[in-house]
A and B are shown apart, each in its own frame.
Chain A
Amino acid sequence: MYGKGLRGLSVATIVVLVGAFAVAAFYAPLDADQGFRQKIFYLHVPLAIVALAGFIVAGLLAIQHLRTREPIWDLRSYVAIHISLILGVAVLVTGAIWAKTSWGVWWLWDEPTLVSFLIVFLLYGTYTPMRFAIEDRERQARYASVFAIAAGAFVPICFGAVRAQPQEVHPQTFGSGELPGSMWLTFLVCLAGMALLFYTLYRFEIATKLARGRLRSLRRQLLDDAPVQRRSAAPII
Protein backbone atom coordinates (compact mmCIF):
# COMPACT_ATOMS: atom_id res chain seq x y z
CA MET A 1 0.00 0.00 0.00
CA TYR A 2 2.80 2.40 0.85
CA GLY A 3 5.46 0.67 -1.23
CA LYS A 4 3.66 0.88 -4.55
CA GLY A 5 6.07 0.82 -7.47
CA LEU A 6 9.07 0.52 -5.22
CA ARG A 7 10.15 -2.83 -6.65
CA GLY A 8 10.35 -1.50 -10.19
CA LEU A 9 12.10 1.61 -8.99
CA SER A 10 14.66 -0.39 -7.04
CA VAL A 11 15.41 -2.63 -10.03
CA ALA A 12 15.78 0.41 -12.29
CA THR A 13 18.12 2.04 -9.79
CA ILE A 14 20.31 -1.03 -9.49
CA VAL A 15 20.47 -1.47 -13.27
CA VAL A 16 21.33 2.17 -13.96
CA LEU A 17 23.80 2.47 -11.12
CA VAL A 18 25.65 -0.77 -11.89
CA GLY A 19 25.58 0.11 -15.58
CA ALA A 20 26.91 3.58 -14.82
CA PHE A 21 29.81 2.24 -12.79
CA ALA A 22 30.53 -0.36 -15.48
CA VAL A 23 30.60 2.40 -18.08
CA ALA A 24 32.82 4.46 -15.81
CA ALA A 25 35.20 1.56 -15.26
CA PHE A 26 35.44 0.15 -18.79
CA TYR A 27 34.18 2.68 -21.32
CA ALA A 28 35.34 6.07 -20.09
CA PRO A 29 38.90 6.84 -21.18
CA LEU A 30 41.67 7.03 -18.63
CA ASP A 31 42.54 10.54 -17.67
CA ALA A 32 45.79 11.56 -19.33
CA ASP A 33 46.96 13.42 -16.28
CA GLN A 34 45.52 11.53 -13.35
CA GLY A 35 45.12 8.01 -14.70
CA PHE A 36 42.90 5.53 -12.93
CA ARG A 37 42.33 7.50 -9.75
CA GLN A 38 40.31 10.01 -11.74
CA LYS A 39 37.57 7.34 -11.87
CA ILE A 40 36.40 8.24 -8.35
CA PHE A 41 35.20 11.42 -10.01
CA TYR A 42 32.25 9.40 -11.33
CA LEU A 43 31.22 8.57 -7.77
CA HIS A 44 32.25 11.66 -5.85
CA VAL A 45 30.83 14.42 -8.02
CA PRO A 46 27.37 12.89 -8.58
CA LEU A 47 27.16 12.19 -4.85
CA ALA A 48 27.99 15.80 -4.05
CA ILE A 49 25.58 17.23 -6.61
CA VAL A 50 22.73 14.95 -5.51
CA ALA A 51 23.35 15.68 -1.82
CA LEU A 52 23.34 19.44 -2.33
CA ALA A 53 20.29 19.22 -4.59
CA GLY A 54 18.62 17.16 -1.88
CA PHE A 55 19.22 19.93 0.66
CA ILE A 56 17.72 22.51 -1.65
CA VAL A 57 14.74 20.29 -2.45
CA ALA A 58 14.20 19.83 1.29
CA GLY A 59 13.95 23.61 1.59
CA LEU A 60 11.31 23.72 -1.15
CA LEU A 61 9.36 20.92 0.54
CA ALA A 62 9.56 22.87 3.79
CA ILE A 63 8.07 25.92 2.08
CA GLN A 64 5.22 23.68 1.02
CA HIS A 65 4.86 22.52 4.63
CA LEU A 66 4.60 26.03 5.98
CA ARG A 67 2.08 26.87 3.30
CA THR A 68 -0.23 23.88 3.70
CA ARG A 69 0.62 22.77 7.26
CA GLU A 70 0.25 19.15 6.17
CA PRO A 71 2.60 16.93 8.24
CA ILE A 72 3.40 14.89 5.14
CA TRP A 73 5.46 17.76 3.73
CA ASP A 74 7.47 17.96 6.91
CA LEU A 75 8.11 14.24 6.64
CA ARG A 76 9.27 14.65 3.04
CA SER A 77 11.57 17.51 3.95
CA TYR A 78 12.98 15.54 6.88
CA VAL A 79 13.64 12.46 4.76
CA ALA A 80 15.32 14.49 2.01
CA ILE A 81 17.69 16.08 4.54
CA HIS A 82 18.30 12.76 6.23
CA ILE A 83 19.36 11.01 3.02
CA SER A 84 21.39 14.00 1.84
CA LEU A 85 23.30 13.92 5.12
CA ILE A 86 24.14 10.25 4.59
CA LEU A 87 25.27 10.99 1.04
CA GLY A 88 27.23 13.93 2.48
CA VAL A 89 29.30 11.58 4.62
CA ALA A 90 30.08 9.59 1.47
CA VAL A 91 31.04 12.81 -0.33
CA LEU A 92 33.50 13.76 2.40
CA VAL A 93 34.99 10.26 2.51
CA THR A 94 35.37 9.85 -1.27
CA GLY A 95 36.69 13.40 -1.50
CA ALA A 96 39.29 12.69 1.16
CA ILE A 97 40.38 9.51 -0.64
CA TRP A 98 40.70 11.41 -3.89
CA ALA A 99 42.60 14.22 -2.21
CA LYS A 100 45.01 11.75 -0.65
CA THR A 101 45.81 10.03 -3.94
CA SER A 102 45.83 13.19 -5.99
CA TRP A 103 47.25 15.89 -3.72
CA GLY A 104 48.90 13.73 -1.08
CA VAL A 105 46.84 15.04 1.85
CA TRP A 106 43.49 14.03 3.28
CA TRP A 107 42.22 17.55 3.65
CA LEU A 108 43.12 20.91 2.14
CA TRP A 109 41.93 24.13 3.78
CA ASP A 110 42.82 26.24 0.77
CA GLU A 111 40.11 24.56 -1.19
CA PRO A 112 36.84 26.52 -1.22
CA THR A 113 34.88 23.59 -2.61
CA LEU A 114 35.90 21.31 0.24
CA VAL A 115 35.43 23.93 2.90
CA SER A 116 32.02 25.08 1.72
CA PHE A 117 30.77 21.50 1.54
CA LEU A 118 31.99 20.90 5.08
CA ILE A 119 30.24 24.05 6.33
CA VAL A 120 26.98 23.00 4.72
CA PHE A 121 27.39 19.52 6.15
CA LEU A 122 28.01 20.87 9.66
CA LEU A 123 24.99 23.13 9.41
CA TYR A 124 22.70 20.27 8.45
CA GLY A 125 24.32 18.17 11.16
CA THR A 126 22.47 20.36 13.67
CA TYR A 127 19.09 19.66 12.07
CA THR A 128 18.48 16.37 13.87
CA PRO A 129 19.61 17.58 17.34
CA MET A 130 17.40 20.62 16.89
CA ARG A 131 14.35 18.51 16.11
CA PHE A 132 15.17 16.23 19.00
CA ALA A 133 15.32 19.15 21.41
CA ILE A 134 11.74 20.27 20.65
CA GLU A 135 9.14 18.13 22.29
CA ASP A 136 5.92 19.48 20.87
CA ARG A 137 5.44 17.72 17.52
CA GLU A 138 3.65 20.52 15.78
CA ARG A 139 6.21 23.07 16.83
CA GLN A 140 9.02 20.70 15.96
CA ALA A 141 7.68 20.47 12.41
CA ARG A 142 7.30 24.24 12.08
CA TYR A 143 10.76 25.03 13.43
CA ALA A 144 12.32 22.32 11.31
CA SER A 145 10.72 23.84 8.23
CA VAL A 146 12.05 27.30 9.06
CA PHE A 147 15.48 25.76 9.52
CA ALA A 148 15.23 23.82 6.25
CA ILE A 149 14.25 26.93 4.29
CA ALA A 150 17.02 29.12 5.75
CA ALA A 151 19.61 26.38 5.33
CA GLY A 152 18.40 25.57 1.81
CA ALA A 153 18.96 29.20 0.83
CA PHE A 154 22.31 29.09 2.59
CA VAL A 155 23.62 26.30 0.34
CA PRO A 156 23.98 28.35 -2.87
CA ILE A 157 25.08 31.45 -0.93
CA CYS A 158 27.80 29.54 0.87
CA PHE A 159 29.09 28.04 -2.35
CA GLY A 160 28.96 31.40 -4.08
CA ALA A 161 30.77 33.17 -1.24
CA VAL A 162 33.45 30.59 -0.84
CA ARG A 163 33.96 30.19 -4.57
CA ALA A 164 34.76 33.87 -4.83
CA GLN A 165 38.12 32.93 -3.42
CA PRO A 166 40.60 31.90 -6.07
CA GLN A 167 40.49 28.19 -6.77
CA GLU A 168 43.71 26.37 -6.14
CA VAL A 169 43.73 22.77 -7.18
CA HIS A 170 40.21 21.40 -6.94
CA PRO A 171 39.19 20.45 -10.48
CA GLN A 172 36.28 22.41 -11.86
CA THR A 173 33.71 20.05 -13.19
CA PHE A 174 31.82 22.52 -15.26
CA GLY A 175 32.75 25.38 -17.41
CA SER A 176 36.22 24.24 -18.29
CA GLY A 177 35.00 22.90 -21.63
CA GLU A 178 37.84 20.43 -21.85
CA LEU A 179 35.98 17.29 -20.88
CA PRO A 180 35.78 14.87 -23.81
CA GLY A 181 32.35 13.68 -24.89
CA SER A 182 32.75 10.13 -23.63
CA MET A 183 33.62 11.38 -20.15
CA TRP A 184 30.65 13.72 -20.16
CA LEU A 185 28.34 10.90 -21.17
CA THR A 186 29.69 8.62 -18.44
CA PHE A 187 29.37 11.39 -15.90
CA LEU A 188 25.76 12.09 -16.86
CA VAL A 189 24.85 8.41 -16.61
CA CYS A 190 26.45 8.27 -13.17
CA LEU A 191 24.59 11.39 -12.13
CA ALA A 192 21.31 9.88 -13.31
CA GLY A 193 22.07 6.70 -11.38
CA MET A 194 22.85 8.62 -8.22
CA ALA A 195 19.70 10.71 -8.53
CA LEU A 196 17.70 7.51 -8.92
CA LEU A 197 19.40 6.07 -5.84
CA PHE A 198 18.46 9.16 -3.86
CA TYR A 199 14.87 8.98 -5.03
CA THR A 200 14.59 5.26 -4.27
CA LEU A 201 15.99 5.64 -0.76
CA TYR A 202 13.71 8.61 -0.24
CA ARG A 203 10.65 6.63 -1.30
CA PHE A 204 11.67 3.69 0.87
CA GLU A 205 12.05 5.81 3.98
CA ILE A 206 8.78 7.62 3.39
CA ALA A 207 6.99 4.32 2.88
CA THR A 208 8.50 2.88 6.07
CA LYS A 209 7.60 5.91 8.13
CA LEU A 210 4.03 6.02 6.82
CA ALA A 211 3.53 2.28 7.29
CA ARG A 212 4.85 2.47 10.83
CA GLY A 213 2.56 5.37 11.66
CA ARG A 214 -0.43 3.53 10.22
CA LEU A 215 0.45 0.41 12.17
CA ARG A 216 0.66 2.41 15.34
CA SER A 217 -2.71 4.02 14.86
CA LEU A 218 -4.30 0.66 14.01
CA ARG A 219 -2.87 -0.91 17.13
CA ARG A 220 -4.16 1.94 19.16
CA GLN A 221 -7.63 1.55 17.70
CA LEU A 222 -7.92 -2.23 17.71
CA LEU A 223 -5.71 -3.50 20.52
CA ASP A 224 -5.39 -0.40 22.61
CA ASP A 225 -1.79 -1.27 23.33
CA ALA A 226 0.13 1.19 21.23
CA PRO A 227 3.63 1.38 22.63
CA VAL A 228 4.48 4.53 24.48
CA GLN A 229 5.69 7.12 22.01
CA ARG A 230 9.32 7.84 22.55
CA ARG A 231 10.61 11.28 21.84
CA SER A 232 12.01 11.28 18.35
CA ALA A 233 13.64 13.56 15.86
CA ALA A 234 11.64 12.06 13.02
CA PRO A 235 8.18 13.38 12.23
CA ILE A 236 5.40 11.00 13.15
CA ILE A 237 2.37 10.92 10.96
Chain B
Amino acid sequence: MSVLAALLRKELRLELRTLESVPGMMLFSLTIFVVFHFALDRATVEGDLAAGILVVTLLFAGMLGLNRLYVADEEQGGFDGFLLAPVDRTWLFVAKAIALFAYLVALEIVMVPAFALLLLEPGLGQALPELLLVLALTNAGFAIIAALVGAIAVRTRARDLLGPLIALPLLVPVVIAAAGLLEPLLREGGAGGLDAKWLAILGLYDLVFGLLSVAVFDPLLED
Protein backbone atom coordinates (compact mmCIF):
# COMPACT_ATOMS: atom_id res chain seq x y z
CA MET B 1 0.00 0.00 0.00
CA SER B 2 2.89 2.34 0.72
CA VAL B 3 4.15 1.44 -2.75
CA LEU B 4 0.93 2.68 -4.23
CA ALA B 5 1.08 5.85 -2.16
CA ALA B 6 4.65 6.52 -3.26
CA LEU B 7 3.88 5.93 -6.90
CA LEU B 8 0.79 8.06 -6.75
CA ARG B 9 2.69 10.85 -5.05
CA LYS B 10 5.28 10.72 -7.79
CA GLU B 11 2.64 10.85 -10.54
CA LEU B 12 0.78 13.78 -9.05
CA ARG B 13 3.93 15.69 -8.18
CA LEU B 14 5.21 15.21 -11.71
CA GLU B 15 1.97 16.51 -13.11
CA LEU B 16 1.88 19.46 -10.73
CA ARG B 17 5.44 20.45 -11.59
CA THR B 18 5.32 19.99 -15.34
CA LEU B 19 1.60 20.58 -15.98
CA GLU B 20 1.91 18.46 -19.06
CA SER B 21 -1.50 16.81 -19.26
CA VAL B 22 -4.34 18.42 -17.37
CA PRO B 23 -4.19 22.03 -18.66
CA GLY B 24 -3.91 20.74 -22.21
CA MET B 25 -6.89 18.46 -21.68
CA MET B 26 -8.95 21.32 -20.27
CA LEU B 27 -8.13 23.66 -23.11
CA PHE B 28 -8.78 20.92 -25.63
CA SER B 29 -12.22 20.17 -24.18
CA LEU B 30 -13.21 23.84 -24.41
CA THR B 31 -12.02 23.94 -28.00
CA ILE B 32 -14.10 20.87 -28.80
CA PHE B 33 -17.21 22.60 -27.44
CA VAL B 34 -16.54 25.53 -29.74
CA VAL B 35 -16.02 23.14 -32.64
CA PHE B 36 -19.28 21.37 -31.83
CA HIS B 37 -21.11 24.68 -31.65
CA PHE B 38 -20.04 25.64 -35.15
CA ALA B 39 -20.16 22.14 -36.64
CA LEU B 40 -23.73 21.58 -35.43
CA ASP B 41 -24.71 25.23 -35.77
CA ARG B 42 -26.62 25.06 -32.50
CA ALA B 43 -26.63 27.56 -29.67
CA THR B 44 -27.94 25.07 -27.13
CA VAL B 45 -28.24 21.32 -26.91
CA GLU B 46 -30.15 18.94 -24.67
CA GLY B 47 -31.03 15.27 -24.30
CA ASP B 48 -29.22 12.73 -26.45
CA LEU B 49 -27.24 15.34 -28.36
CA ALA B 50 -25.94 16.87 -25.14
CA ALA B 51 -25.08 13.42 -23.76
CA GLY B 52 -23.23 12.56 -26.95
CA ILE B 53 -21.23 15.79 -26.99
CA LEU B 54 -20.28 15.45 -23.35
CA VAL B 55 -19.12 11.84 -23.69
CA VAL B 56 -17.23 12.42 -26.93
CA THR B 57 -15.48 15.49 -25.53
CA LEU B 58 -14.48 13.60 -22.41
CA LEU B 59 -13.20 10.74 -24.55
CA PHE B 60 -11.13 12.91 -26.87
CA ALA B 61 -9.72 15.10 -24.14
CA GLY B 62 -8.92 11.91 -22.22
CA MET B 63 -6.98 10.60 -25.22
CA LEU B 64 -4.46 13.39 -24.67
CA GLY B 65 -4.00 12.10 -21.15
CA LEU B 66 -3.60 8.56 -22.44
CA ASN B 67 -0.89 9.60 -24.83
CA ARG B 68 1.09 11.44 -22.17
CA LEU B 69 0.56 8.93 -19.37
CA TYR B 70 3.72 6.83 -19.76
CA VAL B 71 5.88 9.09 -21.89
CA ALA B 72 8.01 10.37 -19.02
CA ASP B 73 8.56 6.82 -17.76
CA GLU B 74 9.68 5.65 -21.18
CA GLU B 75 11.86 8.59 -22.13
CA GLN B 76 13.37 9.54 -18.81
CA GLY B 77 13.98 6.17 -17.28
CA GLY B 78 10.97 5.91 -15.01
CA PHE B 79 10.39 2.31 -16.07
CA ASP B 80 13.99 1.37 -15.28
CA GLY B 81 13.84 2.95 -11.89
CA PHE B 82 10.59 1.22 -11.11
CA LEU B 83 11.83 -2.17 -12.29
CA LEU B 84 14.86 -1.91 -10.03
CA ALA B 85 12.62 -1.51 -7.00
CA PRO B 86 11.66 -4.78 -5.31
CA VAL B 87 7.91 -4.27 -5.60
CA ASP B 88 5.02 -5.82 -7.42
CA ARG B 89 4.79 -4.34 -10.92
CA THR B 90 1.01 -4.30 -10.90
CA TRP B 91 1.13 -1.31 -8.54
CA LEU B 92 2.31 0.82 -11.42
CA PHE B 93 -0.88 0.03 -13.29
CA VAL B 94 -3.02 0.84 -10.26
CA ALA B 95 -1.17 4.10 -9.65
CA LYS B 96 -1.44 5.16 -13.29
CA ALA B 97 -5.14 4.37 -13.41
CA ILE B 98 -5.82 6.32 -10.23
CA ALA B 99 -3.68 9.23 -11.44
CA LEU B 100 -5.54 9.36 -14.73
CA PHE B 101 -8.83 9.16 -12.85
CA ALA B 102 -7.72 12.21 -10.87
CA TYR B 103 -6.75 14.04 -14.07
CA LEU B 104 -10.17 13.31 -15.51
CA VAL B 105 -11.87 14.62 -12.38
CA ALA B 106 -9.79 17.79 -12.62
CA LEU B 107 -10.71 18.04 -16.28
CA GLU B 108 -14.41 17.65 -15.52
CA ILE B 109 -14.34 20.34 -12.84
CA VAL B 110 -13.62 22.76 -15.67
CA MET B 111 -15.26 20.99 -18.56
CA VAL B 112 -18.72 20.23 -17.19
CA PRO B 113 -19.51 23.76 -15.92
CA ALA B 114 -18.14 25.13 -19.17
CA PHE B 115 -20.42 22.78 -21.05
CA ALA B 116 -23.40 23.96 -18.99
CA LEU B 117 -22.43 27.55 -19.63
CA LEU B 118 -21.73 27.29 -23.33
CA LEU B 119 -24.05 24.69 -24.75
CA LEU B 120 -26.33 22.93 -22.30
CA GLU B 121 -29.92 24.10 -22.23
CA PRO B 122 -31.45 22.48 -19.11
CA GLY B 123 -28.67 23.28 -16.63
CA LEU B 124 -26.82 20.86 -14.38
CA GLY B 125 -28.77 21.36 -11.19
CA GLN B 126 -31.62 19.04 -12.07
CA ALA B 127 -29.71 15.80 -11.64
CA LEU B 128 -26.30 16.60 -10.22
CA PRO B 129 -25.75 13.54 -7.97
CA GLU B 130 -26.70 11.14 -10.76
CA LEU B 131 -24.50 13.02 -13.18
CA LEU B 132 -21.52 12.74 -10.84
CA LEU B 133 -22.10 9.02 -10.41
CA VAL B 134 -22.21 8.41 -14.16
CA LEU B 135 -19.11 10.54 -14.73
CA ALA B 136 -17.24 8.68 -11.98
CA LEU B 137 -18.04 5.29 -13.52
CA THR B 138 -17.12 6.55 -16.98
CA ASN B 139 -13.82 7.96 -15.68
CA ALA B 140 -13.03 4.64 -14.03
CA GLY B 141 -13.62 2.70 -17.25
CA PHE B 142 -11.56 5.17 -19.24
CA ALA B 143 -8.72 5.24 -16.73
CA ILE B 144 -8.48 1.45 -16.63
CA ILE B 145 -8.39 1.01 -20.39
CA ALA B 146 -6.04 3.97 -20.85
CA ALA B 147 -3.58 2.73 -18.22
CA LEU B 148 -3.44 -0.66 -19.95
CA VAL B 149 -3.40 0.50 -23.56
CA GLY B 150 -1.04 3.38 -22.78
CA ALA B 151 1.52 0.92 -21.46
CA ILE B 152 1.28 -1.09 -24.68
CA ALA B 153 1.35 1.92 -26.98
CA VAL B 154 4.19 3.86 -25.37
CA ARG B 155 6.79 1.31 -26.34
CA THR B 156 5.81 1.05 -29.97
CA ARG B 157 7.10 3.26 -32.73
CA ALA B 158 3.75 4.84 -33.59
CA ARG B 159 2.70 5.48 -30.02
CA ASP B 160 0.44 8.49 -30.55
CA LEU B 161 -1.39 6.66 -33.29
CA LEU B 162 -1.73 3.26 -31.67
CA GLY B 163 -2.96 4.38 -28.28
CA PRO B 164 -6.23 5.92 -29.46
CA LEU B 165 -6.57 3.33 -32.19
CA ILE B 166 -6.63 0.46 -29.70
CA ALA B 167 -8.40 2.30 -26.90
CA LEU B 168 -11.36 3.66 -28.86
CA PRO B 169 -12.93 0.34 -29.88
CA LEU B 170 -12.36 -0.99 -26.37
CA LEU B 171 -14.18 2.04 -24.97
CA VAL B 172 -17.22 1.84 -27.21
CA PRO B 173 -19.29 -0.07 -24.59
CA VAL B 174 -18.43 2.68 -22.09
CA VAL B 175 -19.54 5.31 -24.58
CA ILE B 176 -22.81 3.51 -25.29
CA ALA B 177 -23.62 3.03 -21.62
CA ALA B 178 -22.55 6.54 -20.57
CA ALA B 179 -24.50 8.20 -23.35
CA GLY B 180 -27.53 6.07 -22.51
CA LEU B 181 -27.27 7.08 -18.86
CA LEU B 182 -26.65 10.78 -19.48
CA GLU B 183 -29.44 11.26 -22.02
CA PRO B 184 -32.34 11.35 -19.50
CA LEU B 185 -30.27 13.44 -17.07
CA LEU B 186 -29.68 16.20 -19.61
CA ARG B 187 -33.21 16.24 -20.98
CA GLU B 188 -34.93 19.58 -21.11
CA GLY B 189 -37.80 20.03 -18.73
CA GLY B 190 -36.97 17.69 -15.88
CA ALA B 191 -34.46 14.88 -15.65
CA GLY B 192 -35.44 11.27 -16.03
CA GLY B 193 -34.07 8.56 -13.78
CA LEU B 194 -31.01 6.39 -14.27
CA ASP B 195 -31.49 3.22 -16.25
CA ALA B 196 -30.41 0.39 -13.94
CA LYS B 197 -29.44 -1.80 -16.88
CA TRP B 198 -26.89 0.67 -18.27
CA LEU B 199 -25.60 1.33 -14.78
CA ALA B 200 -25.04 -2.38 -14.28
CA ILE B 201 -23.26 -2.69 -17.62
CA LEU B 202 -20.98 0.24 -16.90
CA GLY B 203 -20.16 -1.04 -13.41
CA LEU B 204 -19.58 -4.55 -14.69
CA TYR B 205 -17.34 -3.26 -17.47
CA ASP B 206 -15.20 -1.35 -14.97
CA LEU B 207 -14.99 -4.37 -12.69
CA VAL B 208 -14.15 -6.92 -15.38
CA PHE B 209 -11.55 -4.80 -17.14
CA GLY B 210 -10.09 -3.65 -13.85
CA LEU B 211 -9.46 -7.22 -12.76
CA LEU B 212 -8.35 -8.29 -16.22
CA SER B 213 -5.86 -5.45 -16.55
CA VAL B 214 -4.36 -6.22 -13.17
CA ALA B 215 -3.97 -9.82 -14.31
CA VAL B 216 -2.27 -9.08 -17.64
CA PHE B 217 -0.26 -5.94 -16.83
CA ASP B 218 2.80 -7.71 -15.47
CA PRO B 219 4.22 -9.02 -18.78
CA LEU B 220 4.20 -5.52 -20.25
CA LEU B 221 7.02 -4.43 -17.96
CA GLU B 222 9.56 -7.17 -18.29
CA ASP B 223 12.47 -5.47 -19.95
The interface of chain A, by Cβ under 8 A from chain B, is 66, 119-120, 122-123, 126, 129-130, 133-136, 138-139, 142-143, 145-147, 149-151, 153-154, 157-158, 160-162, 164-165
Contacts and interface: CB of A to CB of B under 8 A. Distances in A.
Contacts, number: 83
A146 B212 contact: no
B32 to A, nearest CB: 22
Contact of B152 (A130, A135, A162): A130
Contacts of A122: 169
In the complex, which range does the number of interface residues on chain B fall in? 20 to 34
A164 B197 contact: yes
B170 A123 contact: yes
Contacts of A164: 197-198, 201
Contact of A161 (B157, B201, B220): B201
A120 to B, nearest CB: 8
B223 interface: yes
A231 to B, nearest CB: 10
A66 B166 contact: no
B84 interface: no
B156 A134 contact: yes
Interface stretch (B13-21, B125-133, B172-180): B172-180
A146 B201 CA distance: 23
B201 to A, nearest CB: 5
Interface in B120-157: 148, 152-153, 155-157
Interface string B160-187: 0010011001101100110000000000
B219 A130 contact: no
